[in-house]
Amino acid sequence: MKTIRGITYLVAVNLMLFLPIVEADIPMPPIPIEPIYFEPPVVEASQQQKQLNCIELDNTIRYLHPYRYTYKDSFYDDTTNTMAVTLITVDSVPIVGGLLGLGYLTYSSMVEEKENRRMLNVEQQISMMQQLKAELHCFE
């Protein structure tokens, strides 16, 4: 009985070692694969922006400053988030309250993500304007 197991083992090892490796040619689906994390686009200055002088660049930066900040409450300060979590955990009919709570929390996180992307875009615009100011030697 041991010799049959030993022979089976040797045959299996020889097959694995000496048979050519066959790679399956699996076609990729036609679905575009997006990156997992958001990659902000690099902001390039347009010709119109390159024509601005130092004072106009300062004014543009000054007008962009209020958009750098979020006016949405944070997760823990938003009372609607508290109500949604309460609906999820305390509701006696978990299908109705749970779905409403999860729906609102999903909506809230999507709004926060949109807000973060907007603020990042404004920050990049301001950085680009400051780079233009540096190229014009406005700081001297």
Give the 3-state secondary structure of residue 19. Answer: coil
- Name the one residue in this structure whose structure tokens are 């615009």: 125
CA distances from residue 56 to 45, 61, 68, 119, 122 in whole angstroms, order as listed: 14, 9, 19, 22, 17
Q: What are the pLDDT digits (tens) for 88-140?
A: 888 766 677 778 888 889 899 888 888 888 899 999 999 999 999 999 888 76
- Model's pTM, two decimal places? 0.63
Geometric angle at alpha carbon 26, from 21 and 32, rounded to 5°:
140
Query: Looking at the domain assignment, is residue 11 inside a domain?
Result: no
Query: Looking at the domain assignment, is residue 96 inside a domain?
Result: yes
Query: Looking at the domain assignment, is residue 50 inside a domain?
Result: yes
Q: What are the pLDDT digits (tens) for 33-86?
A: 666 666 777 788 888 988 889 999 999 999 999 999 888 888 888 888 888 888
**Domain residue limits at 94:** 46-140
Query: Looking at the domain assignment, is residue 126 inside a domain?
Result: yes
Domains held by the chain: number: 1
Query: Looking at the domain assignment, is residue 34 inside a domain?
Result: no
Query: Looking at the domain assignment, is residue 32 inside a domain?
Result: no
Query: Looking at the domain assignment, is residue 104 inside a domain?
Result: yes
Query: Looking at the domain assignment, is residue 39 inside a domain?
Result: no
pLDDT at position 72, please? 84
Geometric angle at alpha carbon 129, from 123 and 135, rounded to 5°:
140
pLDDT at position 128, please? 92
Neighbours of 87 (CB within 10 A): 20
